[in-house]
Structure 1
Amino acid sequence: MTTASLRIDGVAVSIDGKGVLLRGPSGSGRSDLALRLIDEGAKLISDEQVELHRDGERLLIGVPEVMPERLKGYIEARGLGLAQVPHVDVPQLLAWVVDMKDRAQIDRLPAAQSAEYLGLKAPLLKLDPFSLSATAKLRLAVRCGPGHILGRE
């Protein structure tokens, strides 16, 4: 049973059935990274705004209830417009929160970090969304989970 919810700015995708929240200001590369992930098989959860739900000791990420039906499954592709992409309608377990950062702001071997929402913590990564390896790094993080990456135990 969902006990609390919170709507925030961000883009969310589902990778292998696990939710990933991409955070950063407008123009930071959230949608660009999401588009590349979707092109590689991920599915859109929501673009621009997402809703987090606390379900006991789990954080779920989904489409805000207030989103008009006609916008569900659409993502903004700068220079192209709104495009319909593969998407999921069911909230997903939040596996990672990812902050969009410039390469110079990212440690080579970062210590474990987390983001807190609704009293629960989720593992946090910092990625350069425009790096060629960004999608591979994020897929690896989802596949491995935070407990299987050295320094993130």
Structure 2
Amino acid sequence: MSTRPAVLPMTEDSGAEAVWLLEGSPLGRLVYVQREQAAARPARHVGEFGRLIVRTPTPPAALPLSAAYPVDDVGAATDTGWTVTATGPADVITDPDEAVHYQRTLPGWEHGPHDTVVRIRLQSATGFRCGLRHRAGPPARGAGCRPATTRRRRSRRRDVRGCRSRDR
């Protein structure tokens, strides 16, 4: 039986690396305010010329002048991954030919009559990487290294902290 560590490190990514992570993932959420409450809708996106083109099941009239677009890939079993949030001015693509092009390019969802393509001009992109187990300092005196598992093995191997474990 294993327990989750109490402290997991997070490191901040630079803006360029955050945009790179964002462009490498096809799925995110469009977050905006609707009726004085935050609304988040699933969305597909593609990056083009410093802009983010987003297809989402959102009514066009509900979209504000600015929007946030979070994307993440964090594994629940491993507690590792990354998260990025991009923000900037948003405008609905009203040109029918351009909208149809992106509706063909980006698979998406429909919610009633709502199938909107939005262009977000990126003003900021912040990201964090969620890492592996973090120790607050060196092990306590006398604690030593313990094998990673309780099963015995014939060969010498290293446990998750890099300590050698030996059969006795």
Greater share of residues in helix:
1
Q: TM-score, normalised by structure 1?
A: 0.24
Q: TM-score, normalised by structure 2?
A: 0.23
The structure with the largest alpha-carbon Rg is: 2
